[in-house]
Structure 1
Amino acid sequence: MRLGFRHRMPTVELAIAAPSSAVWDVLVDLDAWPVWGPSVAGATLDTPGPFASGTRGKVTTAVGVPLPFEITEFIDGRVWAWRVLGVPATRHEVIPVRDGCVLSFGVPIWAPAYLSIMALALPRIERLAMDR
């Protein structure tokens, strides 16, 4: 695991020896969010369908508070970022490499402490992706 700076955001990254498609599938599977996301108890979309820029929904925090979200950046199979309660939140990027991929989580510049939460999520996502 390594810390860095990508797209003007502090990041934490993990090289994963799994296909980038498997890692991506975990990232966009709302049912998996509570499994890998320490701050997430659940999530739903306002309308059924795949993720896309502009997709809206609700994420329920670990303490049970539902918050609205909107996907603000989306490249299928590669990246999604969002606003939660109208505030810029995390950016999730899957970078294909020769032996798998690198999973990178970016946080807003004002929230570097949240990298520790993201660091907990990375190996959880790796395990889920390896099982797919």
Structure 2
Amino acid sequence: MRLGLRHRMPTVELAISAPPQAVWDVLVDLQAWPKWGPSVTRAELEVPGPLRLGSRGKVWTPLGVPVPFEISEFTDGRAWAWRVAGVPATRHEVIPTNTGCILSFGVPLWAPPYLGVMAVALPRIARLATRPR
């Protein structure tokens, strides 16, 4: 795991020996979010379908409180970012490598302590992306 700076955001990154598409599939599967996201217990879109730019929905916190979100950046197969309760939140990026990919999570400049939560999520995503189907 490595700390860094990408897109003017503090980041935590993990090299994963899995195809980039397998990692991406975990990132955009709302049913999987509670499996890897320590701060998510449930997520749903207002309009069913794949995650995309402008998608809106709700994410439930461990306190059982639903919070609205909107996807504010989306490059299919590569990156997505969101606003939660109208506030810029995390950015998720899959960077292809010769041996798999690097998964990078960025947080707003005002939220570097949240990198700890992201550091918990990264190996969970790696496990989900590499498990037999």
Instruction: Please give the range of the TM-score, normalised by the shorter of the 2 chains.
Output: over 0.9
User: What is the identity percentage for the equivalent residue pairs of Structure 1 and Structure 2?
Assistant: 73
Unaligned runs of 5+ in 1: none
Amino acid at match of 1:93: E
| Residue range with higher mean Cα deviation, 98-107 or 47-56 | 47-56
1:96 corresponds in structure 2 to 96
1:23 corresponds in structure 2 to 23
Instruction: Tell me the matched-pair count.
Output: 132
How far, CA to CA, are the matches of 1:16 and 1:63 in structure 2?
31
How far, CA to CA, are the matches of 1:122 and 1:113 in structure 2?
15
SS of 1:126's equivalent?
helix
Amino acid at match of 1:120: V
Unaligned runs of 5+ in 2: none
How far, CA to CA, are the matches of 1:94 and 1:17 in structure 2?
12
> TM-score, normalization: structure 1?
0.99
> TM-score, normalization: structure 2?
0.98
1:57 corresponds in structure 2 to 57
After superposition, the C-alpha distances for 1:59-101 in whole angstroms (9 at most, x for unaligned) are 0011111000000000000000000000000000000000000
SS of 2:31's equivalent?
helix
- Displacement of 1:126 in angstroms is 0.2
SS of 1:30's equivalent?
coil
SS of 1:40's equivalent?
coil
1:10 corresponds in structure 2 to 10
| TM superposition outliers: structure 1 runs of 4+ over 2 Å | none
Q: Does 1:80 align with 2:90?
A: no
How far, CA to CA, are the matches of 1:57 and 1:11 in structure 2?
25
How far, CA to CA, are the matches of 1:42 and 1:48 in structure 2?
15
Amino acid at match of 2:108: P
How far, CA to CA, are the matches of 1:117 and 1:52 in structure 2?
24
- Displacement of 1:41 in angstroms is 0.3
Amino acid at match of 1:58: K
1:45 corresponds in structure 2 to 45
How far, CA to CA, are the matches of 1:117 and 1:9 in structure 2?
15
Q: CA RMSD in A?
A: 0.5
